[in-house]
Structure 1
Amino acid sequence: MAFYLYALLPESARPWLGGETITGLDGAPVHLQHLAPFLVAYSEAKQNRYLASRANLLGHEKVLETLMQRLEPHGVVPLPLQFGLVVEDWESPRQEFVEERQDILLAALARLAGKREVGVKILWNREEELQRLLAANTPLRQQRDDLMGKILTVEEAIAIGQALEAALEERQQEIIDRFLAVLRPLSHEVVTGELLTETMLYNGAFLIDLEKEPIFAEAVEQLDAEFDRQYRIRYNNYTAPYNFVNFAETA
């Protein structure tokens, strides 16, 4: 039998994980394996390898969210394991989690206790933003207008292109700096993620105290209003703390 692993928990969490059975991938029930001082949330693996399909990813996340919901009232946060982790027995997890990384993982559980990861993504329309910049920046607008209708040399085309791009980059940083000036003081840690699309201006994860989430959400709302709702803000207030648990770094 093979096992699909979801998360690592402190062994003290067992009393809070009773109740209705949690359903994992392939409809298999989720169980807890005791690897002192940890519990591993797992289900029986029906496949040797799990493709990162939408259904599988959502199923994995649903298990993590259910664990978080049951543990959150007790200030416990599960350490999420990477998607697709299948083991044939418990010896390799015991060696990795208990024998090799026990102290580091216990410290991670303690660091995350009573906290939650939330995500803020800011999206913009670069062309619309450029038009706003030109309307507010007379010298830049004049430089652009002076070249309109002309056959540009390579140097002129490069120069105006660089000037416009620099103005956009400066504006992007201004927006990011303003958001961080407000949100960073409400957070314990901040991780800046990769920009996933051309329309994404900022992608950040914030580790906050559980009880401060409404305050953080209100701060995001106020920032949206401050910028006249010119940007699309995606705020995820409930996600497993992947950005603050890096198992690769604990090897």
Structure 2
Amino acid sequence: MPTANPHSSLYLYGIVAAPGPRHLSVVGLDKQPVQVHGLGSLAFLYSQARQERYLASRANLLAHEAVLEKVMNEGHRALLPLQFGLVVSGWEQVEQDLVQPRLADLLALLERLEGKREVGVKVFWDPEQELKLGLEENPALKARRDEMAGAPLGLDAVVEIGRALEQLLEQRRQRIAQTFTAALSPLASDRVEGDLLTENMAYNGSFLINWEDEPVFAQKVEELDQTFQGRLRIRYNNFTAPYNFVKL
């Protein structure tokens, strides 16, 4: 198994159960070959670091992710991804700072991920369209808004109608989120909801599913798309390193 020069810095990608991949042909950051180093019952994926600090550019982030995905695709599916940009001085630092204090936790996470994969569902909507649909379903609120459209309004009235419209829109967003959660959660062993990154994002969920169940999950996502009759844009990522389910 290849080992690093003890005097050079190392860039770490992830952790698998020892002994790890025996014949890797993967290129990582700085076009450096990815290697494997065993520390007891763990094996670390690494390459020689050519920089002290790595910019979180799109190219670098994709290179980091590509290493993890290729290793998983080659059969090492239980993989703990490490955060982007992790550069260490040597294996002694890794042993002292990570392995010794957290070994039991790391082994438990590897066991939990055995036979699992992370998939992600992001749902985008058109808030203006949803508000219009919501008002059609709520004629009393629509009438209030229409009455105010051409009339001079005081601050209190403006605030009141604004809050009512915001509440209506949030209720519709929650209804969308609950629909996706109710349909997809039974197919997963765990679920994490992420932040809504833009005002056009209505739902952001990650699911931990059995590796072989992905086609069934994908079909359910397709059925949800049909349920909403094209009102939503769904971005489905059917394979990613399980960042959302390995946090210590």
C-alpha separation in 1, matches of 2:63 and 2:80: 17
Partner residue in 2 for 1:182 = 183
Q: Give runs of aligned pairs for residues 1-251 of structure 1, distance below 5 A.
A: 1-14=8-21, 17-18=22-23, 21-71=25-75, 76-246=77-247, 249=248
Identity of aligned residues (%): 49
Task: Check whether the contact 1:37–1:98 (CA below 8 A) recurs between aligned residues.
Answer: no
Contact 1:77 1:115 in 2 (8 A): yes
Preserved contact between residue 36 and residue 98 of structure 1 (Cα < 8 Å):
no
C-alpha separation between the residues in 1 aligned to 2:109 and 2:188?
17
Distance in 2 between residues matched to 1:205 and 1:144, nearest whole Å: 38
CA distance in structure 2 between the partners assigned to 1:99 and 1:155 by the alignment: 61
1:142-195 Cα shifts (integer Å, max 9, x gaps): 111111110111111111111111101111111111111110100111101111
Counterpart residue type for residue 45 of structure 2: A
Deviation, structure 1 residue 13:
3.2
Structure 1 residue 128 displacement after superposition: 1.2
Tell me, yes or no, if the aligned pair for 2:19 and 2:38 is still in contact at 8 Å.
no
Q: Secondary structure at the match of 2:123?
A: strand
Q: Which amino acid in 2 is paired with 1:33?
A: H
How many angstroms apart in 1 are the aligned matches of 2:73 and 2:207? 19
Q: Under a length normalisation based on structure 2, what TM-score does the superposition of the two structures give?
A: 0.94
- 8 Å CA contact 2:20–2:36 kept in 1: the answer is no
User: Any idea what the Cα deviations from partners look like across 1:75-110, whole Å, max 9, x if unmatched?
Assistant: x32100010000111001112333111111000000
CA contact (8 A) 2:16 2:44 kept: yes
Q: Which amino acid aligns with 1:81?
A: L
Q: Would the aligned equivalents of 1:97 and 1:105 in 2 still touch at CA under 8 Å? A: no
Structure 2 counterpart SS, 1:39: strand
Tell me how far 1:124 sits from its aligned partner.
Answer: 0.9
CA–CA distance in 1 between the matches of 2:89 and 2:98?
15
Q: Which has the higher helix share?
A: 1
Task: State the superposition RMSD in angstroms.
Answer: 1.1
8 Å CA contact 1:5–1:81 kept in 2: the answer is yes
* Deviating more after overlay: 62-71 vs 92-101: 92-101
One-letter code of the match for 1:227? F
Query: How far apart are the structure 2 equivalents of 1:96 and 1:23?
Result: 26
Q: Is the 8 A contact 2:14 2:68 kept in 1?
A: yes
State how far apart, in whole Å, the 2-side matches of 1:96 and 1:188 are: 30
Report SS of the residue matched to 1:99: helix
1:12, distance to aligned residue in structure 2 (A): 4.2
Can you give the 5+ residue segments of structure 1 that lack an aligned partner in the other structure? none
Q: How far did residue 64 of structure 1 move?
A: 0.7
CA distance in 2, matches of 1:192, 1:4: 29
Measured in 1, the distance between the counterparts of 2:97 and 2:74 equals 26
Aligned AA for 1:125?
Answer: D
SS in 1 for 2:119: strand
| 1:57-76 residue CA offsets vs partner (Å, 9 max, x unmatched) | 1110110111110125xxx3
